[in-house]
Amino acid sequence: MRKYSLLILSLFVILSCNDDFVELFPENNLSSGEFYKTQQDFNAGVIAAYAKLQGQVGIYFELIEWRSDNLDLLAPTAGDQDRFNINKFQETSANEEIRNAWANFYNGIFRCNQVISNIPNADFDQELVNQYEAEARFVRALTYFNVVRFWGDAPIVLSPITQEESLTLGRSPVEDVYNVIEEDLLFAVENLPASYSQQNVGRATSGAARTLLGKVYLTQGKYEDCINTLNQVLNQYQLLDDVADVFDTNNKENQEIIFSIRFDKEIQGEGHGLWFAVTDISISPLTNKLLSAYDEEDNRLPLITYQTVDNRLAPGKFVDEESEVTQNFGNDYILLRYADVLLMYAEALNAQGYQANGEAFNVLNQVRTRAGLPAYTSSDLQNESSFQQAVLNERLLEFPLEGHRWFDLIRTNTATEEIQSGIGVSIQNYQLLYPVPQSEIEKINNPEIFYQNEGY
């Protein structure tokens, strides 16, 4: 499926999905009753939900990677002040990057809700009806998962609401948000196919839903649920022999990729710029901590080593040829891949109880030896704590620039020490969450139900 060929959806997208409005209630929206009638209409709505994910790649960069010890911005330049403040933990509730993330996420949730709320009236093949609802619920769960990890308590919007209703909607507790996420993903697991025909490759699968659900359970410390869920994903996918092949733009949707945000550089508006490009290697944002973490024989090092692309430089995992037609690039942004499944599984097994040279060692070492490094044994990692640190370090080496590191640090309660050692910034506990955009606080104007996060 070339699901980002959205020219036929332009009217729907323009009228229903503008970011420049009260985020909980998009104004000027096309009446859903007017739009959702046929199978093609619902498919278009699902595609529009997927398409919103394209704009989230920048959010992963700005609010996760620049927040972590992977990247360091030494001084702000024109247009980089908000990024600098995020990187240095100096952001305020007026930060535009944070405000844009909130807007994107709730606009994306709106798109999903339009499909989910209207699909009970759909009159076509029930299996396909269930699939479309499951796809929308998968995207909604993914979006709420980001929302709750960025801001904690959050408004829960599960159906289209009026503007008046949006102004009375408060922030719900973290536990309630996670309940919504889990319910959506359990529905998705049961109603998404394991695979698609070629023209639909790239849509969410039951394997993607299980993988995301496993990550949701791991984040909450529900280790047994995580193990049981990820156990059903094991061996459905595979590690490629050469990790570089995972990112080869001629090898999209390979056997290691479980779910990615799709791009097509040959279609105007469906490509992107060269990610993390610089013109001079001396201004590489990668921290010395990240670069020095790799052994010389680690075959993942070239993936973050800057390589020449035309007159620019880009990390190896994001190298692509520029389209002669659009002058854009076409890397997909990988959100879930099998190496992540293995490392999450190892982390959860270890958290349930250290076992010398047990299954947790086996799955950790699958990732490690693929990178050309020697396998760990119980002589190297002698207890639960050292094993957990080894998994965290393996994730550092495996996933830089892929939108994992900041959340990994929060989940493992290591953010304070790792940020200090990485970029020399001391952080406080309240900074594990971002401030709610002040614009949203002012719209609701009721601190009893819609309050700012502590410390901001």
- 76 pLDDT exceeds 90? no
Q: What percent of the chain has pLDDT over 70?
A: 93
Cα 338 to Cα 239: distance, rounded to the nearest angstrom: 6
Q: Which two tokens stand for residue 124?
A: 């076509």
Residue 191 sits in the same domain as residue 291: no
Of the residues 170, 204, 238, the one at which a domain ends: 204
- Per residue in 305-359, pLDDT (tens digit) is 999 998 999 999 999 999 999 999 999 999 999 999 999 999 999 999 999 999 9
In a domain, 5, yes or no: yes
| The pLDDT of residue 10 is above 70 | no
The pLDDT-based confidence of 219 (bands split at 50, 70, 90) is very high
Supply the mean pLDDT for the chain.
93
Contacts 24+ apart (CB under 8 A), 286-291: 286/70, 286/71, 286/315, 286/400, 287/69, 287/70, 287/71, 287/72, 287/422, 287/423, 289/69, 289/421, 289/422, 289/423, 290/69, 290/70, 290/396, 290/400, 290/422
Q: Which residues contact 381 (CB under 8 A, 6 or more apart)?
A: 361, 387, 390
- State pLDDT tens for residues 160-216: 988 888 889 999 999 999 999 999 999 999 999 999 998 899 999 999 999 999 999
For the chain, the straight-line distance linking the first and the last C-alpha, in angstroms and rounded, comes to 44
Q: Contacts by 247-251 with C-beta closer than 8 Å and gap 24+?
A: 247/303, 247/316, 247/317, 247/318, 247/331, 247/334, 249/320, 249/321, 249/330, 249/331, 249/332
Residue 33 banded pLDDT, cuts 50, 70, 90: low
Is residue 136 within 8 Å of residue 45, measured between CB atoms?
yes
Residue 70 within any structural domain of the chain: yes
Q: Whole-angstrom Cα distance, residue 131 to residue 204?
A: 10
Judge if 194 and 299 occupy the same domain: no
Q: Which amino acid is located at 297 in the chain? A: E
Provide CB contacts within 8 A for 450, sequence distance 6+: 155, 169, 170, 171, 436, 440, 441, 444
175 and 322 in a common domain:
no
CA distances from 95 to 23, 85, 151, 161 (A): 16, 8, 14, 27
Q: How far is CA 55 from CA 49, 103, 262, 271, 369, in A?
A: 11, 11, 11, 11, 35
Query: In terms of residue numbers, what domain contains 307?
Result: 281-331
Separate counts of helices (H) and strands (E) for the chain: 18, 4
**Per DSSP, what are the bridge partners of residue 260?**
334
- The verdict on 172 and 291 lying in the same domain is no
Same domain for 189 and 292? no
> Same domain for 58 and 150?
yes
- Domain end, chosen from 204, 224, 244, is at 204
Q: Are residues 194 and 51 in the same domain?
A: yes
- Total structural domains in the chain? 2
End-of-domain residue from the set 204, 235, 261: 204
Same domain (yes/no): 199, 287? no
CATH of the domain at 18: 1.25.40.390
- Locus of tokens 């156990």: 231
This prediction has a pTM of 0.93
Q: Are residues 186 and 308 in the same domain?
A: no
Same domain, 38 and 130: yes
363 membership: H or E segment, kind and range: helix 359-370
